[in-house]
């Protein structure tokens, strides 16, 4: 656990580059989860504590479908993964829709803490539900796409880029672009933004606020399911308690980026991913979670509106 444990024998630059690549990969996943936190907070002012567990659930759904398709039906890795991710997006979205209806909607008008408490309950329920049905241990998939491209070689340390990492960053990029388009350019996205700013006024203009809030949960869950599927792909294993730590990190990302801000969530995700991997490399990998959580505390104390937090009214 010594600092510079690889860098000591030279190749410090290569090590740094490698950790940048790893950090961006991890950060993509955090960013996808963070969007779910930030959107829900933006529209109903609630920290959806169960979102990390929704992410974990989505990874399990992807795992089960992937195993079914590859081991029982003998499908190839690529089509199996695409189907598994798509199905996980759909099923997780449905789950989250149900959660919103059952556990949050009725509490929306009551005191602020009520939905948060309900969300903590939902988080506990989801984690335990998966523990009971799937067991408490790691479940794994066979490694997929583990070929690597060697970027630098001959030095003390080879910098590599795995096919998986390329896939993760590419899928994240494409989905974020599509998502950004929906939010910025479609009537649906406009209604969503209108509800964020003034839900009562939006209703006065004919926007069905309940439906828009439900859609926010659906979209957040679908993106979390993409993150869950990619997480599974990258690490090969998932267990029922895996919702908590990535969930808190993604929440940290949302706060760091400025809660309510979509670009902020992505930026925050990338930063948390980088902080975590670089800290693990240069200081102590035992304390890499502590590093990420310290960021949460420091942000909340010194910069509560985050990096891209928005002032409500601005004069040009």
Partner 1 sequence: MTALLSISGLTAFYGSVQALRGVDLEVGKGEVVALIGSNGAGKSTLMMSIFGNPRARDGRILFDGQDITDMPTHEIARLSIAQSPEGRRIFSRMTVYENLQMGAAVAGFAGFEANLDKVFGIFPRLKERLKQRGGTLSGGEQQMLAIARALMSNPKLLLLDEPSLGLAPLVCKQIFETVKRLNEEEGLSVFLVEQDAHHALKLAHRAYVLVNGAVTMSGKGADLLRDPKVRAAYLEGGAH
Q: Which is nearer to partner 1, 8 or 198 (CB)?
A: 198
Q: Which of 61, 89, 191, 223 binds partner 1 (CB under 8 A)?
A: 191
Residue 162: phi and psi, rounded to 5, are: -85, 155
What part of residues 150-169 is at the interface with partner 1 (CB under 8 A)? none
Which region among 11-19, 150-158, 162-170, 192-200 touches partner 1 (by CB under 8 A)? 192-200
For 152, the 3-state DSSP assignment is strand
Q: Is position 72 an interface residue for partner 1 (rule: CB under 8 A)?
A: no
Determine which residue in the list 116, 209, 245, 307 makes contact with partner 1, applying CB under 8 A: 209
Among 72, 200, 286, 301, binds partner 1 (CB under 8 A): 200
Binding to partner 1 by residue 76, rule CB under 8 A?
no
CA distance 109 to 117: 14
Provide the token pair at 313. Answer: 């009214």
Distance CA 215, CA 212 (A): 5
Decide: is 186 part of the binding site for partner 1 (CB under 8 A).
no
Q: Strands 237-238 and 159-162: what pairing?
A: unpaired
Tokens standing for 133? 């049905």
Extended strands (E) in 21-81: none
Would you count residue 109 as binding partner 1 (CB under 8 A)? no
* Per CB under 8 A, 205 contacts partner 1: yes
Residue 146 touching partner 1 (CB under 8 A): no
User: Phi and psi for 74 in degrees, rounded to 5?
Assistant: 70, 25
Say if residue 258 is exposed, middle or buried (CB neighbours under 10 Å; 0-12, 13-18, 19+): buried
Least distance to partner 1 from the beta carbon of 203, Å? 4
DSSP letter (8 states) at residue 101: I
Structure tokens at 259: 């809660």
Across-strand partners of 199?
none
Among residues 94, 120, 201, 290, the one that binds partner 1 under rule CB under 8 A:
201
Which member of 87, 126, 202, 256 binds partner 1 (CB under 8 A)? 202
Query: Is residue 203 at the binding interface for partner 1, with CB under 8 A as the rule?
Result: yes
- C-beta closer to partner 1: residue 6 or 190: 190
198 binds partner 1 (CB under 8 A): yes
| Chosen residue from 10, 142, 208, 303 binding partner 1 by CB under 8 A | 208
Q: Tokens 């997780």 label which residue?
A: 92
Q: Applying CB under 8 A, which part among 189-197, 216-224, 241-249, 286-294 lies near partner 1?
A: 189-197
Q: Which residues partner with 238 through β-bridges? A: 139
- Please tell me whether residue 301 binds partner 1 under the rule CB under 8 A: no
Handedness of CA 284, 289, 290, 296 (dihedral sign): positive
Under the binding rule (CB under 8 A), the answer on residue 190 touching partner 1 is yes
Q: Select 1 or 316, whichever has its Cβ closest to partner 1.
A: 316
Q: Is 111 in the site for partner 1 (CB under 8 A)?
A: no
Which residues are CB-neighbours of 51 under 8 A, at least 6 positions away?
Answer: 33, 36, 37, 40, 220, 224, 247, 250, 251
Residue 197 lies near partner 1 (rule: CB under 8 A): yes
Interface residue list for partner 1 (CB under 8 A): 187, 190-191, 193-194, 197-198, 200-209, 310, 312-316
């Amino acid at each position: 656990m010594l600092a510079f444990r690889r860098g000591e024998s030279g190749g410090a630059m290569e090590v740094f580059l490698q950790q940048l690549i790893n950090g961006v990969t991890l950060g993509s996943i955090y960013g996808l989860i963070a969007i779910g936190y930030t959107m829900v907070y933006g529209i109903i002012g609630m920290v959806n504590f169960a979102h990390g567990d929704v992410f974990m659930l989505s990874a399990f759904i992807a795992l089960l479908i992937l195993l079914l398709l590859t081991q029982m039906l003998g499908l190839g890795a690529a089509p199996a993964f695409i189907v598994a991710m798509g199905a996980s997006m759909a099923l997780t979205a449905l789950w989250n829709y149900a959660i919103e209806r059952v556990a949050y909607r009725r509490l929306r008008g009551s005191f602020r803490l009520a939905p948060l408490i309900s969300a903590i309950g939902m988080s506990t329920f989801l984690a335990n539900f998966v523990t009971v049905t799937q067991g408490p241990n790691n479940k794994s998939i066979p490694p997929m796409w583990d070929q690597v491209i060697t970027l630098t070689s001959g030095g003390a340390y080879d910098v590599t880029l795995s096919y998986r990492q390329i896939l993760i960053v590419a899928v994240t990029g494409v989905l974020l672009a599509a998502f950004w388009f929906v939010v910025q350019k479609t009537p649906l996205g406009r209604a969503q933004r209108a509800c964020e700013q003034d839900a009562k006024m939006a209703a006065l203009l004919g926007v069905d606020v309940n439906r828009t809030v439900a859609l926010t949960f659906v979209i957040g869950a679908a993106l979390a399911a993409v993150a869950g599927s990619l997480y599974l792909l990258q690490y090969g294993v998932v267990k029922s308690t895996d919702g908590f730590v990535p969930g808190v990190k993604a929440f940290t990302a949302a706060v760091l980026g400025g809660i309510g801000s979509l670009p902020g969530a992505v930026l925050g995700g990338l930063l948390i991913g980088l902080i975590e991997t670089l800290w693990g490399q240069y200081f102590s990998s035992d304390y890499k979670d502590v590093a990420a959580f310290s960021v949460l505390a420091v942000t909340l104390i010194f910069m509560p509106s985050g990096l891209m937090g928005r002032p409500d009214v601005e004069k040009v």
